[in-house]
């Protein structure tokens, strides 16, 4: 549900504002909004406050920078207890040491990369040059060619530019060609230009080897190839020691600086005169006691008022936080990344919690696949216990442990319904257990456990399963339109009320018409309901003045039929799973004892391939029915709410305050 909110106004002497903000930050439940009035101007920093805000922000940035250099991340911990000057003094040497060591490591890595890339070419070229690149009268142009045929291009370019005043030498080098041209010093630039025009660039060493002759570079690279890795290892060891030494102080400094900077930023949302201030904010009604308890300590200096938010006139301003029970709350993440419902509307999280895992299980419905999902859930649970994030770099996924915990809960709900439907369908990696006589179809074969719904037998079960899917569609679409009508009536939006009511009537008429047409049923009762439904539909058009409802009604009916995908996607997966298992058993029958092993391996690999190719669809299809077919019925995407962002310390989380 959407948590009821109350608005808070606090006024008091300006000299108490820092103390009050510290108290509000400690309890971490008040979202402070900017207060702008004609009577009081916005708060203006004093020179000292402006300087402090900049300096604390620099401490934040410095701590984050140093932690990043050390391969760590900011994390709230016990805050640094000293003042601003002490924090800066503590931070500066840590940042300096991290910077120096990181630059040294980067420099050494670049040097090692250069050696790896150029040592062999330099060895070959230096051997060919015989020290001529140190001559006062001669110059050497070294270059690397991808293929030997390019030598003719180089020779032609040099011949045109220098006639016979050059010598060109070359040697093969790991599929390439190492070459150098020896020219007179006075012809050096001419030779460079001639080769450049043919797309042949001179090999120029960079970094610590820049400006050295080939012979000098060869000697230097030999030395550094031995020393640089040892030096880099020493620097890495120093960085590791520094991380152990500095991580806790840096996080402590970051925690204190973040809180101080946040308090100073919050001042700018306050209205203040020369002697007094006024603060405006929002709190969840259930946390009202926390605020009153905190403000009681300041009752001699400040006054405050609390009153319920007006959902009819203030809905655009009121921040929204969702309050759901432990069985529903983990599913909020499937709502909040799409949209935050507007205050005074409706929280559909419970619908996601009920139907998404149920439909997922109905689609997958395989005990073997459920076991694979259990393995994934166990791995994720291990991350939660170790308080480690879930990181999948390829997809850019980085989930914090609390989010992973919610994900595990959702996954377990999906697994539960997959197991339930797996027993109903009698499926374990398709028909594997049916082959072994564990599950059986009554009237067709024998076994231990009868299969209630053999969905792969489409001739026997398709009609029933399609009707069940359509029934879900009828419930969801009617439920969504009913919510739309209720919300519209509650807020006095009569146009939307009549639009939703009209669609409800029109869909009743369409459903009855389709039923009588397909079944041949007739009678006054059916006609009466159908005509009454269409009459309500026409009334809705007239009262809402939305003529396009006529064209939209078939679309609404199509949304009901869209729920057939629950059956269609599921049965397609079941048939493919059966084929994979049949393939394995076929190999086992043909190859004897060896075939049993081959059949198991081939069957399992085929199942894993099918699961990998279809799993995204198995997840998206049921959640899509909620996100699209259901959410659009009550206008979930038409109005967005403001997320509740309480003013708090980085050490607490008001989202879980109670």
Joined tokens for residue 621: 């299809």
- Left if phi > 0, otherwise alpha if psi is -120 to 50, otherwise beta: which for 649? beta
pLDDT, residue 657, reads 35
Asked whether residue 288 carries a pLDDT value surpassing 60, the answer given is: yes
pLDDT tens for 543-573 read: 999 899 999 999 999 999 999 999 999 999 8
Asked whether residue 431 carries a pLDDT value surpassing 90, the answer given is: no
pLDDT, residue 446, reads 83
The answer to whether 419 and 370 have CB atoms below 8 angstroms apart is yes
> Locate tokens 């996924």: which residue?
397
Once rounded to an integer, what is the mean pLDDT over residues 199-212? 88
- Per cent of the chain over pLDDT 70 is 99
654 pLDDT band (50/70/90 cuts)?
A: very low
The answer to whether 98 and 211 have CB atoms below 8 angstroms apart is no
The answer to whether 220 and 208 have CB atoms below 8 angstroms apart is yes
CA dihedral for 549, 551, 555, 557, sign (positive or negative)? positive
The answer to whether 127 and 215 have CB atoms below 8 angstroms apart is no
pLDDT tens for 352-364 read: 999 999 999 999 9
Once rounded to an integer, what is the mean pLDDT over residues 191-214? 89
The answer to whether 355 and 413 have CB atoms below 8 angstroms apart is no
The answer to whether 41 and 270 have CB atoms below 8 angstroms apart is no
Once rounded to an integer, what is the mean pLDDT over residues 108-130? 92
The larger pLDDT score, comparing residue 589 to residue 135, is at 135
The answer to whether 329 and 353 have CB atoms below 8 angstroms apart is no
Once rounded to an integer, what is the mean pLDDT over residues 574-586? 86
Asked whether residue 506 carries a pLDDT value surpassing 90, the answer given is: yes
Once rounded to an integer, what is the mean pLDDT over residues 518-523? 78
* pLDDT, the chain, mean: 90
Asked whether residue 448 carries a pLDDT value surpassing 50, the answer given is: yes
Q: Which of 101-110, 211-220, 274-283, 516-525 has the lowest mean pLDDT?
A: 516-525
Beta strand segments in 273-371, E? 276-284, 303-308, 319-320
Distance CA 259, CA 522 (A): 73
pLDDT, residue 282, reads 94
Task: Say what the pTM is.
Answer: 0.77
Once rounded to an integer, what is the mean pLDDT over residues 198-202? 89
Q: Which residue intervals of 267-345 are DSSP H helices?
A: 288-296, 333-336
68 pLDDT band (50/70/90 cuts)?
A: very high
Q: What is the 3-state secondary structure (H, E, C) of 376-413?
A: HHHHHHHHHHCCCCEEEHHHCEEECHHHHHHHHHHHHH
Q: Which of 58-62, 114-118, 311-315, 495-499 has the lowest mean pLDDT?
A: 311-315
Once rounded to an integer, what is the mean pLDDT over residues 572-592? 84
Asked whether residue 653 carries a pLDDT value surpassing 60, the answer given is: no
Buried b (16+ CB within 10 A) or exposed e, 463-479: eebbebbbebbeebbbe
Q: Which residue intervals of 451-564 are DSSP H helices?
A: 458-491, 494-519, 524-544, 549-561
How many degrees, rounded to 5, is the angle at CA 89 between CA 87 and CA 94?
95
The larger pLDDT score, comparing residue 253 to residue 394, is at 253
Once rounded to an integer, what is the mean pLDDT over residues 307-330? 90
Distance CA 318, CA 291 (A): 18
Burial status of residue 350 (CB atoms within 10 A of its CB: 0-12, 13-18, 19 or more): middle
Once rounded to an integer, what is the mean pLDDT over residues 592-607? 80
Distance CA 178, CA 182 (A): 14
């Amino acid at each position: 549900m959407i948590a009821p909110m109350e608005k808070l106004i606090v006024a008091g002497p300006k000299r108490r504002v820092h103390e009050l903000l510290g108290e509000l930050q400690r309890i971490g439940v008040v979202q402070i909004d900017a207060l702008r009035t004609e009577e009081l101007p916005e708060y203006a920093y004093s020179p000292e406050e402006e300087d402090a805000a900049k300096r604390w922000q620099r401490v934040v940035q410095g701590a984050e920078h140093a932690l990043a250099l050390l391969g760590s991340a900011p994390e709230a911990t016990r805050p640094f207890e000293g003042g601003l000057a002490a924090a800066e003094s503590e931070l500066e040497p840590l940042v300096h040491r991290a910077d120096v060591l990181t630059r040294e490591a980067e420099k050494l890595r670049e040097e090692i990369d250069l050696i790896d890339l150029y040592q062999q070419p330099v060895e070959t070229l230096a051997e060919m040059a015989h020290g001529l690149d140190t001559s006062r009268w001669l110059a050497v142009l070294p270059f690397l060619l991808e293929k030997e045929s390019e030598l003719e291009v180089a020779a032609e370019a040099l011949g045109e530019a220098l006639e016979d005043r050059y010598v060109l030498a070359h040697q093969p080098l790991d599929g390439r060609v190492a070459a150098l041209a020896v020219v007179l010093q006075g012809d050096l630039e001419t030779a460079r230009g001639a080769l450049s025009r043919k797309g042949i660039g001179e090999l120029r060493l960079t970094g610590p080897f820049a400006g050295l002759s080939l012979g000098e570079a060869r000697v230097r690279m030999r030395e550094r190839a031995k020393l640089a890795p040892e030096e880099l290892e020493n620097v890495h060891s120093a960085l590791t020691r520094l991380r152990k030494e500095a991580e806790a102080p840096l996080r402590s400094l970051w925690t204190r600086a973040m809180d101080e900077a946040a308090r100073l930023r919050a001042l700018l949302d306050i209205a203040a005169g020369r002697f007094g201030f006024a603060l405006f904010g929002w709190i969840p009604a259930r946390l009202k006691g926390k605020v009153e308890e905190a403000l009681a300590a300041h009752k001699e200096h400040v006054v405050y008022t609390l009153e319920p938010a007006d959902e009819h006139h203030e809905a655009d301003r009121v921040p929204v936080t969702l309050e759901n029970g432990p069985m529903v709350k983990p599913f909020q993440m499937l709502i909040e990344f799409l949209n935050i419902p507007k205050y005074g509307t409706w929280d559909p999280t419970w619908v996601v919690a009920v139907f998404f895992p149920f439909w997922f299980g109905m689609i997958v419905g395989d005990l073997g696949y459920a076991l694979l999902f259990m393995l994934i859930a166990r791995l994720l649970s291990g991350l939660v216990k170790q308080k480690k994030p879930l990181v999948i770099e390829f997809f850019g996924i980085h989930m914090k442990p609390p989010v992973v915990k919610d994900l595990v809960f959702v996954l377990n709900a999906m697994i539960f319904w997959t197991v339930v439907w797996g027993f109903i369908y009698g499926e374990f990696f398709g028909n594997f257990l049916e082959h072994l006589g564990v599950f059986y179809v009554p009237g067709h074969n024998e076994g231990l456990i009868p299969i209630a719904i053999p969905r792969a037998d489409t001739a026997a079960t398709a009609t029933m399963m399609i009707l069940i899917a359509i029934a879900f569609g009828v419930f969801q679409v009617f439920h969504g339109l009913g919510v739309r009508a209720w919300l519209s009536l509650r807020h006095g939006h009569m146009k939307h009320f009549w639009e939703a009511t009209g669609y409800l009537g029109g869909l009743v008429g369409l459903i009855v018409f389709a039923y009588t047409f397909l079944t041949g049923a007739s009678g006054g009762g059916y006609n009466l309901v159908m005509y009454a439904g269409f009459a309500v539909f026409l009334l809705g058009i007239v009262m809402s003045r939305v003529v396009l409802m006529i064209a939209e009604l078939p679309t609404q009916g199509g949304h009901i039929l869209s729920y057939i995908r629950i059956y269609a996607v599921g049965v397609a997966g079941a048939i493919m799973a059966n084929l994979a298992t049949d393939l394995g058993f076929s190999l086992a029958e043909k190859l004897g004892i060896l075939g049993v092993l081959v059949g198991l391996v081939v069957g399992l690999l085929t199942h894993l391939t099918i699961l990998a190719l279809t799993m995204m669809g198995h997840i998206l299809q049921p959640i899509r029915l909620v996100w699209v077919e259901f959410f659009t019925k009550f206008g979930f995407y038409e109005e967005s709410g403001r997320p509740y962002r309480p003013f708090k310390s980085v050490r607490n989380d008001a989202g879980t305050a109670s």
